[in-house]
């Protein structure tokens, strides 16, 4: 089957026409170009979602502010959450996976190139359809998890929630097909000698993530289809006034929603696993434990969804079960943290920008993980749910975990993708500004939550410390925006600059660095037989080859 797939792929690859660049990019089925399209689309939505966040933080900078009205604020926080989760983090991580996976396993393409293109365009048009809601009568305004019965027509009369459902449904279909493509590619197109025990850890995470996407997204897609039937054809799945169940929406959403946290973090775990090895110049400590704990996380993630529903009144038995299972998932995650620290121990550490983000992740994500464990204790959850403590926890996990991973990956693989090196001095300015702004923004929100400030309020009374903490939090958001401007300038300056001559600037270990930088259309003319977990290291160090 592998031979058949490879033959088909080579015949199916399009011929590049330099005078038809736009058409080439619109019709490409090359995994590298589609990976770049995913990343560019994610960058576009990142700028939009980040601007929405700045508007919200500006509104909350002082008490009794009326820069934004309540309806505009509701639409902004909904669009910010939906955009960042579904059209920034997921496409960026999937784009990186689509770009790197074939290169890391010694393949020349994904298993299904045309499906790969279909997946990207479904995701991109899903995002455009979501934003078309602004022109069609109003954006969705019920939060990123869009709870019933608030999502029903009698409570949300504007068409925004219809566009929410249709946009996410398109994106969900694109994600499922990408998940299938990733799994088949890894299982069927690996180069000779690359057994599952020798997979790069980034690829291991991609494999587990592919199965997670295939298993978790259908729950959301089903809920969105049922919601559209409710709103457009008067069905009664979630309409409580006609016998429907509001809780059914919560179950279906969070059966997707909690695995979604791991869909966003597992690829980042793969990035960190590669970065810690290369910038410590050591093999990963406990390869088998890192890989196995990822499988454990994937399985356990389907048994914790109701910890988002402790306040819904599910009863003591259900609350106890989901509280215990939520604590359990901290174990495999903790194993990884110790493995990465042990990898650095005794290594020849190079504190590049990529490595700095990886080290910072260990601190930020651990804070997010510990506050997450607090939420698995039911009475604490009851006290803090829907407060700013939740906002702080969520951002320490998603930004401190996944976004820091993307930044780490950007600096590590930019030479591979573009053939050019990002400026390290500007990179470190970006790192320190962003990390300072991130902690100033979100760490203080723990205290706002503990003091009782609810999330999703467009303004607040001048209660002692509320204004001060909110003002500092807003200043942190602008600091992050300044950091992003430095990053964009760095990328612009680098793209306009000279290409590097060394295709392996980091002295890396894995096969993607064996290909040219950037890789040509056919990734490899010849691929060496893999005999260990560090095949490119073996080629460069014949007398010190690994034995795995």
Query: Across the chain, what does the average pLDDT equal?
Result: 93
If we measure between CA atoms, which residue out of 375, 275, 293 comes closest to residue 333? 293
> DSSP code of 149?
T
* Residue 345 CA to its chain's centroid (Å): 28
Separation of alpha carbons 32 and 28, rounded Å: 9
Dihedrals φ, ψ of 387, to 5°?
Answer: -110, 175
Q: What is the pLDDT of residues 222-252, one digit of tens each?
A: 999 999 999 999 999 999 988 999 999 999 9
Residue 19: band (very low, low, confident or very high) from pLDDT cuts 50, 70, 90: low
Q: Which residues in 16-50 are b (16+ Cβ under 10 Å) and which e?
A: eeeeeeeebeeebbbbbbbbbbbbebbeebbebbb
What residue has token string 């000779």? 192
What residue has token string 């990886």? 358
Looking at residue 545, what is its pLDDT? 82
Looking at residue 5, what is its pLDDT? 42
Looking at residue 17, what is its pLDDT? 55
Looking at residue 22, what is its pLDDT? 86
Please classify residue 545 by burial: count the beta carbons closer than 10 Å to its beta carbon, then call 0-12 exposed, 13-18 middle and 19+ buried.
Answer: middle
Q: What is the pLDDT of residues 376-426, one digit of tens each?
A: 999 999 999 999 999 999 999 999 999 999 999 999 999 999 999 999 999
The answer on pLDDT for 32 being more than 60 is yes
Mean pLDDT along residues 11-19: 52
Separation of alpha carbons 331 and 479, rounded Å: 34
Mean pLDDT along residues 468-496: 97
What does the block give as tokens for 134? 């602004």
Looking at residue 9, what is its pLDDT? 45
Residue 18: band (very low, low, confident or very high) from pLDDT cuts 50, 70, 90: low
What residue has token string 């723990």? 446
Looking at residue 120, what is its pLDDT? 98
pTM of the predicted protein model: 0.93
The answer on pLDDT for 191 being more than 50 is yes
The answer on pLDDT for 440 being more than 80 is yes
* Residue 76 CA to its chain's centroid (Å): 20
Dihedrals φ, ψ of 184, to 5°?
Answer: -65, -40
Mean pLDDT along residues 7-19: 51
What domains are there in the chain, each with its CATH number?
A: 33-540 (1.20.210.10)
Peptide bond into 329 cis (omega under 30): no
C-beta separation of 237 from 226 below 8 A: yes
User: Which SS3 state, helix, strand or coil, does residue 6 take?
Assistant: helix
> DSSP code of 464?
T
Please classify residue 235 by burial: count the beta carbons closer than 10 Å to its beta carbon, then call 0-12 exposed, 13-18 middle and 19+ buried.
Answer: middle
What does the block give as tokens for 411? 């600096």
The answer on pLDDT for 38 being more than 70 is yes
Q: How many Cα atoms are found within 13 Å in the side-chain-facing hemisphere of 345?
A: 8
User: Which SS3 state, helix, strand or coil, does residue 387 take?
Assistant: strand
Looking at residue 2, what is its pLDDT? 45
Longest dimension (CA), the chain: 74
Answer with the residue of higher pLDDT: 17 or 383: 383
The answer on pLDDT for 8 being more than 50 is no
C-beta separation of 102 from 109 below 8 A: yes
Mean pLDDT along residues 356-382: 94
Looking at residue 3, what is its pLDDT? 46
What does the block give as tokens for 13? 């690859």
Q: What is the pLDDT of residues 106-116, one digit of tens each?
A: 999 999 999 99
The answer on pLDDT for 269 being more than 60 is yes
Looking at residue 20, what is its pLDDT? 81
């Amino acid at each position: 089957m592998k031979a058949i797939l490879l033959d088909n792929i080579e015949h199916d690859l399009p011929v590049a026409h330099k005078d038809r660049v736009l058409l080439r990019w619109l019709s490409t089925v090359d995994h590298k170009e589609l990976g770049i399209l995913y990343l560019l689309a994610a960058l576009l939505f990142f700028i939009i979602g980040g601007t929405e966040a700045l508007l919200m933080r500006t509104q909350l900078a002082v008490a009794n502010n009326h820069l934004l009205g309540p309806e505009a604020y509701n639409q902004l926080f909904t669009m910010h959450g939906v955009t960042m989760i579904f059209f920034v983090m997921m496409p960026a991580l999937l784009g990186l996976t689509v770009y790197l996976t074939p290169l890391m396993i010694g393949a020349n393409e994904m298993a299904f190139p045309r499906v790969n293109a279909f997946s990207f365009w479904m995701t991109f048009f899903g995002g455009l359809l979501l934003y078309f809601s602004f022109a069609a009568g109003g954006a969705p305004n019920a939060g990123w998890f869009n709870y019933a019965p608030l999502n029903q027509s009698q409570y949300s009369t504007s068409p925004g929630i219809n566009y929410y459902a249709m946009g996410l449904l398109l994106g969900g279909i694109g994600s499922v097909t990408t998940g299938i493509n990733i799994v088949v590619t890894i299982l069927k197109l690996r180069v000779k000698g690359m057994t599952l025990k020798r997979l790069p850890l980034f690829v291991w995470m991609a494999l587990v993530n592919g199965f997670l996407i295939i298993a978790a997204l259908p729950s959301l897609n089903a809920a969105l289809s049922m919601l559209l039937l409710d709103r457009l054809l008067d069905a009664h799945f979630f309409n409580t006034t006609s016998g429907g169940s509001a809780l059914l929406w919560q179950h279906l959403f969070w059966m997707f929603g909690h695995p979604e946290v791991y869909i966003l973090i597992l690829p980042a775990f793969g990035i960190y696993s590669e970065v810690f090895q290369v910038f410590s110049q050591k093999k990963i400590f406990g390869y088998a434990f890192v890989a196995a704990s990822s499988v454990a996380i994937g399985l356990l993630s389907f048994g914790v969804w109701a910890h988002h529903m402790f306040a819904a009144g599910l009863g003591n038995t259900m609350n106890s079960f989901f509280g215990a299972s939520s604590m359990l998932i901290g174990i495999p995650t903790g194993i990884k943290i110790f493995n990465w620290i042990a990898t650095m121990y005794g290594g020849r550490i190079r504190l590049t920008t990529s490595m700095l983000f990886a080290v910072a992740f260990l601190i930020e994500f651990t804070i997010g993980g510990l506050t997450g464990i607090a939420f698995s204790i039911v009475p604490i959850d009851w006290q803090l749910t829907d407060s700013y403590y939740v906002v702080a926890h969520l951002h320490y996990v998603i930004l401190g975990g996944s976004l820091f991973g993307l930044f780490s990956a950007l600096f590590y693989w930019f030479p591979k993708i573009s053939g050019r090196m990002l400026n390290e001095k500007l990179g470190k300015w970006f790192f320190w500004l962003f990390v300072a702004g991130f902690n100033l923004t979100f760490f203080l929100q723990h205290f706002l939550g503990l003091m009782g400030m609810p999330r999703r309020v467009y303004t607040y009374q001048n209660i002692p410390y509320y204004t001060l903490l909110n003002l500092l939090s807003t200043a942190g958001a602008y600091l992050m925006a300044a950091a992003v401007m430095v990053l964009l300038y760095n990328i612009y300056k680098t793209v306009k600059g000279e290409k590097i001559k060394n295709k392996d600037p980091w002295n890396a270990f894995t096969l993607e660095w064996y290909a040219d930088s950037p890789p040509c259309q056919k990734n490899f003319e010849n691929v060496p037989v893999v005999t260990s977990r560090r095949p490119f290291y073996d080629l460069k160090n014949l007398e010190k080859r690994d034995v795995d």
